[in-house]
């Protein structure tokens, strides 16, 4: 039997409301520290090769969920398995199979893409010749010309920088790629480049992708299935087509925005358009 790329069951994560300290149960005080349920009772399965989008407004718990999968946080309840490995008990095995790319990807901006990738390869313990070959392949796939790849990263477009961040995650051939808001803050063209790159990675490498976004159009066009997240919960999880069809017959031709509104009673703030 082959395991799903990712499986979560009844996962909860709580933070203390002020965010400054871990939750301490203090029953003798007759009260509990006020807590925020960042992730509340989330269960899902992600088959290999699928792109699953988590769509939700700021503060809905998307990054917390990604960090739980990435073994950076411990769940308070429930379990998560990556290809059958428990993220808590088998964290080392899980770390080898995943790679997380977040908006605040750390790079040496004065160094070039090649230098940054060589540095990362060394951290990953890759042998020099293997690293150079792999980096060459990756840069070619990114469509970064040799001269560009040697320019300081800070001189490349933000879309290009983000692609280098995703490319870095590919040095170790992760089978599960976690992308936390990979296109947030990018201009439309860079956004499209990154989206095309994600599609291509999946097509060529059969990579499984869990990505978060608050961009409806992105979720609709890029993801095989979309989980709509609100206040720590998944309020729906299905293909974009079925989510939209769920509003029929009262609402034919619904957008994911309409679905979100119908399910949560809230507008998903349109930061991209406002920016």
Ligand X SMILES: Nc1ncnc2c1ncn2[C@@H]1O[C@H](COP(=O)(O)OP(=O)(O)O)[C@@H](O)[C@H]1O
Residues in contact with ligand X by the rule CB under 6 A: 15, 19, 36, 38, 56, 58-64
Q: Which two tokens stand for residue 207?
A: 């990579």
**Among ligand X, Mg ion, none, what does residue 53 contact (CB within 5–8 Å per kind)?**
none
Question: Using an 8 Å Cβ cutoff, are 3 and 84 in contact?
Answer: yes
213 binds Mg ion (CB under 5 A): no
Among 55-63, 165-173, 226-234, 236-244, which window interacts with Mg ion (CB under 5 A)? 55-63
Instruction: Choose which of 38, 42, 63, 167 interacts with Mg ion (CB under 5 A).
Output: 63
Per the listing, tokens 């540095």 go with 119
**Min CB(129)–Mg ion separation in Å:** 38
Beta bridge partners of 228: 55, 236
Taking the least distance from each CB to ligand X, the nearer of 23 and 254 is 23
- Residue 204 Cβ, how far from ligand X at the closest point, in Å? 29
Helix ranges restricted to H, 206-254: 216-222, 240-245
Closest C-alpha to 3, from 68, 97, 92: 97
* CB 9 within 8 Å of CB 79: yes
Residue 120 interacts with, from Mg ion, ligand X, none (CB under 5-8 Å by kind): none
CB of 17 to ligand X, least distance (A): 8
Shortest Å distance, C-beta 105 to ligand X: 16
Least distance (Å) between residue 179 CB and ligand X: 12
272 three-class SS? helix
Q: Which of 69, 171, 73 is nearest to 119 (CA)?
A: 171
Sites of contact with Mg ion (CB under 5 A): 62-63
């Amino acid at each position: 039997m082959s395991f799903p790329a990712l499986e979560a069951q009844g996962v909860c994560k709580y933070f203390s409301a002020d965010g400054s300290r871990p939750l301490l149960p203090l029953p003798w005080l007759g009260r509990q520290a006020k807590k925020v349920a960042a992730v509340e009772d989330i269960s899902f399965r992600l088959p290999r090769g699928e792109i699953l989008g988590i769509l939700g407004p700021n503060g809905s718990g998307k990054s917390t969920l990604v960090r739980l999968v990435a073994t950076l946080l411990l769940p308070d309840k429930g379990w998560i398995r990556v290809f059958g490995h428990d993220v808590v008990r088998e964290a080392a095995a899980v770390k080898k199979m995943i790679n997380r790319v977040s908006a605040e990807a750390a790079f040496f901006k004065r160094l070039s893409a090649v230098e940054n990738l060589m540095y990362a390869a060394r951290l990953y313990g890759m042998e020099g010749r293997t690293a150079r070959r792999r980096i060459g392949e990756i840069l070619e796939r990114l469509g970064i010309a040799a001269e560009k790849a040697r320019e300081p990263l800070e001189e490349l477009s933000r879309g290009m920088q983000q692609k280098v961040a995703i490319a870095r995650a590919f040095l170790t051939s992760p089978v599960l790629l976690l992308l936390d808001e990979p296109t947030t803050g990018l201009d439309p063209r860079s956004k499209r480049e990154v989206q095309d790159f994600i599609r291509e990675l999946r097509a060529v490498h059969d990579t499984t992708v869990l990505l978060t976004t608050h961009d409806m159009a992105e979720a609709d066009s890029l993801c095989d299935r979309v989980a709509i997240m609100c206040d720590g919960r998944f309020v729906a999880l299905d293909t974009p087509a079925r989510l939209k069809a769920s509003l029929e017959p009262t609402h034919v031709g619904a957008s994911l925005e309409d679905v979100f509104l119908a399910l949560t009673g809230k507008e998903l703030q349109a930061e991209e358009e406002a920016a």
